[in-house]
Structure 1
């Protein structure tokens, strides 16, 4: 069922000029695209978090991380950690 408020909005839109209706339509389309994009970004972020969590459990990845940490151990003890 369509709300009374929505019907009032429709009546108000009909009273606008064609230019104003086009402007409003473009604004609504822009907002819908923006909200859709944001929703997809949030979905992608969740997917990426899941992938990173899975990678963290991968033994091969853990070996690589350990090797990288070993390469940078000198940088960690150079006294600059307080900066």
Structure 2
């Protein structure tokens, strides 16, 4: 099992999410819970499609930090 970073952003109409390690894999939802569920489903679908196409599963390489600024 691999863990992929997911970035969730609040938008004017809800939330959007993407994984920097999975190009083109995105999801949108009206609530945090919805977008988190949908991005998990989108990532699974994305990885299954890559496998069907004979592509290698990407190795996670992204990470997050918080920078405190004055």
Report the TM-score when normalising by structure 1: 0.31
Higher strand share: 2
